[in-house]
Structure 1
């Protein structure tokens, strides 16, 4: 094994090897998210072969998504670190970099959806899964591209941690490593380190984001499980249903890249948070319209609209997270955010399947998902509105309480004297101002301040 060389930089390079990191993350999203989405095409095959209802069959997809977001197992070892690494290498063009990296999910879906359908027809669902497994081995190549980088803010370690490590080394020289005092010292240092790394968990903004993510994740997952079965239920052929998934995937790419590029522009740079809310809310509205779309000409525009805004908000999740917690804690915060995806990903497809089995229709399942995503958007928007109101109110009160000030300028020095002061206070202020200046400056101030006698 060759020794990994750690690249050092004082700030995110916004290019260079960062584009190789983007390429690696791009391949990771193809091999993880795109392959997971294509399980929707296997849904009918699984249901027919195992003779199970919608709710039971949906557990296959939901467990894959849940484990990816929840554990250190399987796809999780690739997905979260790759995304966090992009945030380390880019600052000014972060949204664009994430747009390109996350577009692998859409490109992979666009390519793999018809390919998987063809593989199922040629080699059955078992053979298709074996071929996909071989394709996923390319994750090893992606891992080889990831080169660690040390940023300027990574060196700003709190003094207590540095002192803790130094004192621990000196302490271990005098005391046995197996003693009770040494163990207590290690536990104290570990607690300090964890408290520093995960301090963002106590931030109110992050708590609101976490709650919003739970509802957003609940709504977004079932579509990739039930789009193909729903299309088949309204009379669309297997190839046309696979085409819908491909359409969703290719438009997802456009959403990733164009929305990332647009939100990096100067006129939208400060509104990335609002753009995220906008994209999530529109996907929720698309869900509400889906039950009345029962033909291929109507489902294609739905796939385009939903796919575009799905790619848009997926691109902005790391950007919004970085805006709240900062770059230093981004890796840990993204781990928590994607961890929060796990529970909704686990339960939402089976719940949707249970609703389909119970009602005999997809309407209730799609409406529940749509309202969940809309609530996620409204919650974040309401929280941001309250925060801005709280910031504006103290400034307004402070402005109202301050006396009206009259400003005199003398060269490079400016003096403000309250107009409400009486004559005596005005003379004392003018005298204190003039005493700090030379004779010439004093005379000019005396001319400006009534009642001041330079003698």
Structure 2
């Protein structure tokens, strides 16, 4: 039975306080990723480190962020979203504090890549779980408002970092960012669970590893052996070994049963491919504007601001429309993928300024559709008691795809020495997701519609028979 169905969901109320708290957490923590170059590249250059080192630090950060999904499901079930989110904020603050006193590149790898990456990986799914329990029909707009906090931070924090670097230096600026991330603890304090969660204590799994399922130990056990049974004939040994029981507990703790579902595989792999293409586009877009489109630095900044501005605005507006029309989250995500595919193809074919401005706005709009509906798509597919594990598995798939497909896209850009070829490569990835998802969604929609029509026909026949009997 779905746990969520047995609870009264307010679809608002205190939930909006939770949304505001999550927006604060996102603004003071998630937006840290956007100022990595501004904060650390100058210091790395003073250490005579090259671009490879900076790329290694960011890639390891993404790796730690996504592979924290290995632990996020059991962590949320055992320690509740509020405690997990607070732990993430503390790890981010600790990692930045370590970076403030860094004297070698491996200090940045330890502080920023692992501590900050792992902390951010704990924050994202735990805050979504907190919001998810308070909303049903307004869930999309609640998630949109909370993610708009991260967008607002990406607009404001770079100016704060620039002021701190210019007036107080590197160490003071990084320590200030570390202190700022601790404001997330204030937001985490408001992530009160809606109802006591279903009993699920993963810490008991360790004690149960040496016990067979359904087996209860007692201080006194009496064994009756028939007299006509030889001493050599004994009951066969229990083949349920420690390793098999450990595997069963691991499957339960991480909700690995979800991997038996091919649709779930399609969802997480498709979203991971879109996530990777988005990261790669964000990385090459400034170079494309400056070198291929021949725009000056002022126009490059303007176009990038258009993308960020459209993203923030539509994070607030798009969920209102989609929730009102009751469009499924995965369909909205698919529309976003199609829009991103169109924008990349148009940019690759036409580099005139009006087209670039238009496609920059379209990219921001469609990016918001994918960002907002990422976790929502998983929540619509998974039962509430499996949601934490589903989010963790989705994060792990992103980590694997970023390492493999992301590196492949970088190799395509370097080998072809062309931003246009890289845009086309991203378009191919997005098109593959569209071609795989579209038939499946249409088939499921048609099957659901046929089931609904059949149910209505059955109800009408039953009503006619009742009316005949009454007459």
Q: Same fold by TM (over 0.5)?
A: yes
Secondary structure of the equivalent of 1:74?
A: helix
**Matched residue, 2:141:** 96
Deviation at 1:214? 2.6
**Matched residue, 1:310:** 367
Matched, 1:59 2:56: yes
**Matched residue, 1:280:** 337
Query: How many angstroms apart in 2 are the aligned matches of 1:27 and 1:408?
Result: 54
Query: How many angstroms apart in 2 are the aligned matches of 1:377 and 1:356?
Result: 23
* Cα deviation code 1:424-445 (max 9, x no counterpart): xxxxxxxxxxxxxxxxx8xx8x
Query: How many angstroms apart in 2 are the aligned matches of 1:386 and 1:24?
Result: 39
Distance 1:145 1:242, change over 3 A: farther
Q: How many residues are matched?
A: 390
Secondary structure of the equivalent of 1:171?
A: coil
Distance 1:215 1:333, change over 3 A: same
Matched, 1:214 2:272: yes
CA contact (8 A) 1:255 1:310 kept: no
**Matched residue, 2:377:** 320
Deviation at 1:56? 6.2
Query: How many angstroms apart in 1 are the aligned matches of 2:340 and 2:401?
Result: 17
Match among 196, 207, 227 for residue 285 of structure 2: 227
Match among 13, 16, 28 for residue 16 of structure 1: 13
Matched, 1:252 2:316: no
Deviation at 1:46? 8.2
* Cα deviation code 1:129-171 (max 9, x no counterpart): 554333323232232222223379x4799xxx9xx9xx99993
CA contact (8 A) 2:140 2:323 kept: yes
Matched, 1:191 2:188: no
Query: How many angstroms apart in 2 are the aligned matches of 1:98 and 1:298?
Result: 31
Secondary structure of the equivalent of 1:384?
A: helix
CA contact (8 A) 2:271 2:374 kept: no
**Matched residue, 1:359:** 416
Distance 1:407 1:70, change over 3 A: closer
**Matched residue, 2:346:** 289
Deviation at 1:109? 1.9
Deviation at 1:45? 5.5
Matched, 1:149 2:194: yes
Q: Which moved more, 1:187-196 or 1:366-375?
A: 187-196
Secondary structure of the equivalent of 2:315?
A: helix
Distance 1:195 1:109, change over 3 A: same
Secondary structure of the equivalent of 1:145?
A: coil
Deviation at 1:216? 1.2
Distance 1:296 1:57, change over 3 A: farther
**Matched residue, 2:182:** 137
Distance 1:287 1:117, change over 3 A: farther
Q: Which moved more, 1:189-198 or 1:253-262?
A: 189-198
Secondary structure of the equivalent of 2:66?
A: helix
Match among 153, 178, 184 for residue 108 of structure 1: 153
* Cα deviation code 1:305-347 (max 9, x no counterpart): 1111111221112222122113332222122222222223345
- Gaps of at least 5 residues in structure 2 are 1-5, 72-117, 222-236
Secondary structure of the equivalent of 1:19?
A: helix
Query: How many angstroms apart in 1 are the aligned matches of 2:10 and 2:360?
Result: 36
Greater C-alpha Rg: 1
Query: How many angstroms apart in 2 are the aligned matches of 1:137 and 1:322?
Result: 29
Deviation at 1:262? 1.1
Matched, 1:76 2:76: no
- Gaps of at least 5 residues in structure 1 are 1-8, 416-440, 445-455
Query: How many angstroms apart in 1 are the aligned matches of 2:143 and 2:331?
Result: 17
Question: What CA RMSD, in Å, does the superposition of the two structures yield over aligned residues?
Answer: 4.4
Query: How many angstroms apart in 1 are the aligned matches of 2:15 and 2:250?
Result: 28
**Matched residue, 1:171:** 216
Query: How many angstroms apart in 2 are the aligned matches of 1:408 and 1:269?
Result: 29
**Matched residue, 1:330:** 387
Distance 1:216 1:170, change over 3 A: closer
